[in-house]
Structure formats: C-alpha cells, structure tokens
C-alpha cells in the first residue's frame, strides 16, 4: 500500500516568533509504498497554525491529490501567533493508501513572544 511520511523529525518546533510575525516551514511528504496515494488533503490545523496562504498545500507547496510510489512533494505550514504563549497542534495529511483511508501527521509547536 501507499505509505506517506512527513519530514522534519518527530515534532517541528517553530521556536519563538514575535506577536504578529510569521514563520514557515516546508515539510517533505514521501510515499514509500508501492502504489499511489490518492485523495490527499490537509487538515488538523487551528490558529495560530495554518497552511501558508490559508489553503492546502500552502503557498509554494507542491502536493496535490495523488502522490506516485517513491515520489515526494511538499507542504508549507505557517505559524502566526497573535498572543503570547505556547502553542501545539498537528498537521495531518489524509489519504487513501490503495486499500483504506488513513493519515500521516507531524506535531507542531511554537511560542508567541514579545
């Protein structure tokens, strides 16, 4: 079956980002399986996290609805805090692996700083 993995380690930490500022990260999505992943879509993000530009796969992201076996594409996630504090979320890529609907995710963390 298709098997999607997301780069950038077990958790991506945006670190300290100034209030009303923005930091982005490009995450590589890899299909290490033997069939295409289909029906790909992004979910799971709540403010202050979002796909860059507001929609999956994010501005300059290259992922679409299908990813061929042994291929890669990218998504771009933004962190834009509006208040001080620590924030946690996960970016989720839902897809069909050829047999069932499943998902791949990457936890995110960041701090709104003055």
The whole model's pTM is what? 0.94
Using the 8-state DSSP alphabet, how is residue 53 labeled? G
Question: Which tokens belong to 112?
Answer: 């709104």
pLDDT of 9: 84
Find the Cα–Cα–Cα–Cα dihedral 94, 15, 85, 80, rounded to 10°.
-60
Instruction: Provide the pLDDT for residue 8.
Output: 82
C-alpha 1/C-alpha 75 separation (Å) is 22
- Count other C-beta atoms under 10 Å from residue 64's C-beta: 11
pLDDT tens digits along 16-43? 999 999 999 999 999 999 999 999 999 8
| pLDDT tens digit sequence for 44-85 | 899 999 999 999 999 999 999 999 999 999 999 999 999 999
Question: Do 61 and 32 contact (CB within 8 A), yes or no?
Answer: no
């Amino acid at each position: 079956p298709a098997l999607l993995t997301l780069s950038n380690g077990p958790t991506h930490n945006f670190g300290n980002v100034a209030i009303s500022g923005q930091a982005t990260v490009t995450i590589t999505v890899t299909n290490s399986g033997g069939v295409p992943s289909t029906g790909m879509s992004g979910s799971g993000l709540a403010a202050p996290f979002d796909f860059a530009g507001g929609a999956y796969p994010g501005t300059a992201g290259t992922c679409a609805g299908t990813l061929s076996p042994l291929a890669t594409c990218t998504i771009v996630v933004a962190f834009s805090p509006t208040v001080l504090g620590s924030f946690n979320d996960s970016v989720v890529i839902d897809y069909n692996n050829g047999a069932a609907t499943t998902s791949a995710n990457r936890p995110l963390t960041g701090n709104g700083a003055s």
